[in-house]
Chain A
Amino acid sequence: MTIADNGTDTLEVVGRQDRPDAPPSLLLERVAYAYPDGHQALFGVDLRIGRGERVALLGPNGAGKTTLVMHLNGILGGGDGTVSVGGLPVVKDTLQEVRRRVGIVFQDPDDQLFMPTVRDDVAFGPANLGVRGAELDARVDRALAAVRLGDLADRPPYHLSFGQRRRAAVATVLAMEPEVIVLDEPSSNLDPASRRELAQILLSLDVTILMVTHDLPYALELCPRSVILSDGVIAADGPTKEILSDPDLLAAHRLELPFGFDPRVLG
């Protein structure tokens, strides 16, 4: 493991990289950003996530995690540095394609599921990309099958359980056939069974995953690699198990393992 100052010298841990020569799914170089009110949230983030990797983005509240996520599909931008997705730079002209490639699953599924039925919601993204007819139906069915919600397709989102809504939110981005899925606190408010179901689904997907979370055991379960974002820079980058086994590092960035949980004991 490498603890990098200001995001330099990161060690790349390769997950399921099918083509080592392919451009990385996400490449951030010296990304800095200040909000219009003058508050600066990012101070030069360098991050490279290879195709097929599953990476946890850890960090205390206010570290800039959400700001960083908003850069990945171009909702925020205009500061310093560059972001590229699968080799495609995020600029105004590429936004539509970038937003297809990067699917963001927001923390509150009610923000994400805004259409009258689950099916409509899953179809929203691909329809915006111009997909229509049988192709659209097939995509929606595939996405819903992947999150095991096929039988609830015609229900209003309001009638789903919270765990089902979270999975439906995952399906809404899956239907866009993204290269990267970014999840904001995917395990929050889930009961243990829903949490496990979601983990199984995420592990079954053949995409690059970046997961923003405070849930360190969940990060360990799902992501071979972790990155700590603190005060707007990458403070650590390495195998999740090693990061979680370093109490001083965790304490320095206000991260805490649940009581009784010791990653070193796990195989």
Chain B
Amino acid sequence: MHVPDGFINPPVSLAAGVLAGAGVALCLRGTRRELDERTAPLAGLVAAFVFAAQMINFPVAAGTSGHLLGGALAAILAGPWTGALCVAVVLLVQSLFFADGGLTALGVNITDMSLITVLVGWAVFKVVVAVLPRTRVSVVAASAVSAFVAVPAASLGFVGFYALGGTSDVPVPTVLAAMTGVHVLIGVGEALITGATVASVLAVRPDLVHGARHLHRRLELRTTAGDAAPAPVAHPGGVRRFVVGSLLVSLVVAGVVSFWASTAPDGLNKVAADTGVGQTETAHAADGSPFSGYGTSGVADAFASKAVAGVTGVLVTLAVAGGVVVLVRRRSARRAAATTAPAQAGAGTYAYSVTTAGSTAPDARSDGPAVPSAADRLQARYSTQAARENGAADTAAEYAAQAARGGGGAAGAHRLYRHAESPVHRLSPQSKLAATVLFVFVVVATPREAVWAFAVYALLLAGVTAVARIPAGLVLRRMVVEVPFVLFAVLMPFLSRGEQVDVLGVSLSVGGLWSAWNVLAKATLGVVCSILLAATTDLRALLVGLERLKMPSLLVQIMSFMVRYGDVIGDEMHRMRIARESRGFTGGDLRALPVVARSAGALFIRSYERGERVHLAMLSRGYTGTLPLQGEATTAAQWRTALVLPAGALVVALTAWVLR
């Protein structure tokens, strides 16, 4: 749920940026307490793990899929400070190096997906652990519950920002209902994977589960027969109760959602709710767009309300289907329990299919529609788009597709870099970073009615592209990332009207169209600007630039490690997938979850241990707490050149405000 540029107004974006900055600073201090001098390599590797784990997709309901957000998981495995820091670093890298998530929305995204998720997730975890008996099963259950709560909590956080500074006219209750509905569903998948992953790490390296430290000490003190028995990982009964419980919660929330839908003031909703179940497919198309949830609200009240109704239908369907599967699984679990280890049988009761998108996307998509094995990035994008209806998951596919072609996830971003001799390339990275951020801020602050201003911005960026000798094709190809979103935004009003005109008259509103235009124009300009930055500045230079711009050195180190090891961890995940499949494992199978979760657990252990080895290697070469990345200072002339772009934009924006 990466918020693009232009969705939240500049004052609130800035305030969120301050909040996020303060939060990250606190996390840096806290992480140093959790990891001491090993902070940089270990946090970097955990961030690389979160980055890789976010490629794990799970179907939420027929046709929709979510991907792991990983906030609660990271907090429980690595500790709350480290977890929040690592998710924040992932978001930073995605925004700065991959053009994913708006630069001006970075504060919103970090506050929402890192700080709120981890804060809520960790608090729920602690409460549940305190209530339940001190066993591993309790830790697993608490992990699942905390993940389940943390995801909708993040969506509430988003709604909070939207209420304060949303740029569209969609009523807050509608956004709230849509967001919560979608994210309760995602929360169920998140809960299952989080619980199973924590269980698998607990089984192998319990010492690495930060959230189970209280267990660890207790086990050392007591030696009763009960504790000496082989560790129960995920007790079938407990897991099943949890699955049933979370489905019940989903139903309750669904009820609340439809209540909202039917009392919202625009009068459309009764019809929408009545037809909701029948409209499920349409709702999916909306919710699953790259800007799932947000897109819905950005178009029209009518559609959003209908989507809500659709989500209600999905919830009911899921709950019924899930209930049936649980009943069916209960029998097979009993059978399995007779023959296999308790842990495996317990995990086998999950009814959700999960596939792992390895680091080579096209052939990794075993649950999507047929994907040509030699698909180029575009094809991969579209075909996965159909199956994978979550924006961020798509982005993962995007990175992965790059990995397949360019030789690695982060290396994919490196591939975005186009070496050339140009005045733009020669500018120092810090001046380019500053110019990019300022420019995007000016764009976002421009009144949406001033269409001509956005045309001028586009011309300015075209000018930069020409001066930088970046082939326009490169930028356009990369912008394909946005195409589904564009199509969605363009088609939606027509679709909605087509279905609703007879029922209601019109009401799908000039306001809704303006909102769509607003987000579309600003987000697209933001993406292009980020692409230009990445195309003219290599990864290392970006890191140097950040350090020069006074980003805390420790944070730059963690980002550097994340970028360096994102590829390595992604490769390990890919190898594990191949190892699984070469022994007959098929990703689309419904019993895949425990296997994938064990892989995720193993991946975490490997990442953590590699972090420890990297730390040793650093010590062996005299590490003193700083990474000696050498960069050059920016001359005044360079600053002047770089700032031409935002200054020009500022003139345009001011003119637009005056003429308004």
Contact = CB atoms under 8 A, between A and B. Distances in A.
A104 interface: yes
A176 B567 contact: no
Contacts of A127: 628
Given A123-B628, A156-B539, A111 B614 contact: yes
A172 B621 contact: yes
Interface stretch (A22-30, A46-54, A114-122, A192-200): A114-122
B622 interface: yes
A133 to B, nearest CB: 9
Nearest to B406: A159
Interface in B523-558: 539-540, 543
A156 B624 contact: no
Contacts of A115: 560, 564, 627, 629
Contacts of A70: 616
Interface stretch (B150-158, B295-303, B407-415, B484-492): B407-415
Contact of A116 (B564, B613, B614, B623): B564
A106 B410 CA distance: 24
- Indicate the member of B622, B629, B630 with the most A CB atoms within 10 Å: B622
Contacts of A172: 621
Interface string B554-592: 000000110111011000000000000000000000000
A158 B411 contact: yes
B210 interface: no
A158 B564 CA distance: 8
How big is chain B's contact interface, by range? 20 to 34
A123 B623 CA distance: 12
A199 B411 CA distance: 31
B539 A112 contact: no
B621 A128 contact: yes
Given A114-B41, A114-B561, A124 B621 contact: yes
Main secondary structure of the interface of B (DSSP, over half): helix
Contacts of B613: 106, 108, 111
A111 to B, nearest CB: 4
Given A116-B539, A116-B543, A128 B624 contact: yes
Interface footprint category on A: 20 to 34
Given A111-B610, A114-B561, A159-B407, A128 B617 contact: no
Interface in B366-414: 407-408, 410-411, 414
Nearest to B568: A110
B224 interface: no
A157 interface: yes
Interface of A: 70, 73, 75, 96, 99-100, 103-104, 106, 108, 110-112, 114-117, 120, 123-125, 127-129, 156-159, 172-173, 176
Given A114-B564, A129-B622, 6 more contacts: A112-B614, A115-B564, A116-B540, A158-B411, A159-B408, A176-B621
28 contacts: A75-B620, A103-B620, A104-B620, A106-B616, A110-B568, A110-B610, A112-B617, A114-B564, A114-B617, A115-B564, A115-B627, A115-B629, A116-B563, A116-B564, A117-B540, A125-B622, A127-B628, A128-B621, A128-B628, A129-B622, A156-B411, A156-B564, A157-B564, A158-B407, A158-B410, A159-B408, A172-B621, A176-B621
